[in-house]
Amino acid sequence: MVMVKTIEALQEAKKLLQGTIGFVPTMGALHQGHLSLIQQARKENDSLIVSIFVNPTQFLEGEDLDAYPRKDEADIKICELIGVDILFMPTVESMYEADELCIGAPAVRGYVLEGEKRPGHFDGMLQVVMKLLNLSGATHAYFGKKDAQQLALITQMVKNYFLDVNIIPCEIVRDEKGLALSSRNVYLRGDEKERALCLSSALKRATKLVISGELDVEKLKKEMLEVLSEADRVEYVAIVSRDFKALKKVEIGNTIILVAAWVGKPRLIDNLWI
């Protein structure tokens, strides 16, 4: 594995790559969820690039940028073991200059749910993903379905800007009890890990009801909110179409159920595609 920190070194290292290039962008603190993306990308491509970059432009004022978990040493070992060809770990200075041209999240899809609660987050996320896709020269880029809205917006950016890359959506990875894996789970203390299970339990409750024939969105949301009473604060429960439009009835094959809630220190998100 070659580890590079500058854009020049990345361009040099890329000259040795052949065939399809799989790319997994991350913010580090790698967990089993990242590993499954990296392993899938390894299996499906001739070459593999992973980036670790805690992107400041996607954190809002007062969010956990400084406290965001960083585990560079362990992450480097993991990437080596999985067989990553190039690990790109740029500095903020090498990625950004002052007064940059920016890409904006779309006015509707980019400003509901996560976009409404974290205004500006998706602008910063799209800005860095555009840079990373261009720098990596990826033919296939892998993103988890856990960040469902992020995945939808990246897919839209690739379409709208005619980028020559295939976006590969990857399944959510959960622990043995059902908690969706996230770098922020390390903040969960004491009983919070148990209480955090209410997010996946609420999604399971909705699934059971849908299977039994209940398709009414308001009724499903009410049932989910009961399960979510274990959380400290629920930010939203939403049942929307796969292109993030409001639904009155669940449409099988075209629906995402999403939840965001605070449990202790971390704000957690989870979702289910039905």
Q: Which residues are catalytic?
A: 34
Measured from the CB atom, the residue of 56 and 178 that comes closer to ligand PAF is 56
Residue 127 and residue 103 in contact, taking contact as beta carbons nearer than 8 Å: yes
Task: Supply 107's token pair.
Answer: 């006015």
Tell me: does residue 129 bind ligand PAF (CB under 6 A): yes
Pick the binder of ligand PAF from 27, 76, 84, 198 (CB under 6 A): 27
Query: What is the radius of gyration, based on Cα positions, of the chain?
Result: 19
191-210 footprint of ligand PAF as x/- string (CB under 6 A): --------------------
Query: Any idea what DSSP says for residue 85?
Result: S
Which of these, 196, 178, 176, 177, lies nearest to 186 by C-alpha position? 196
Q: Give rounded-to-5 percent helix, strand, coil for the chain.
A: 40, 20, 40
Tell me: does residue 126 bind ligand PAF (CB under 6 A): no
Which of these, 273, 236, 246, lies nearest to 257 by C-alpha position? 273
146-185 footprint of ligand PAF as x/- string (CB under 6 A): -x--x-----------------------------------
219-248 footprint of ligand PAF as x/- string (CB under 6 A): ------------------------------
| Residues within the interface to ligand PAF (CB under 6 A) | 25-27, 55, 58, 125, 128-129, 147, 150
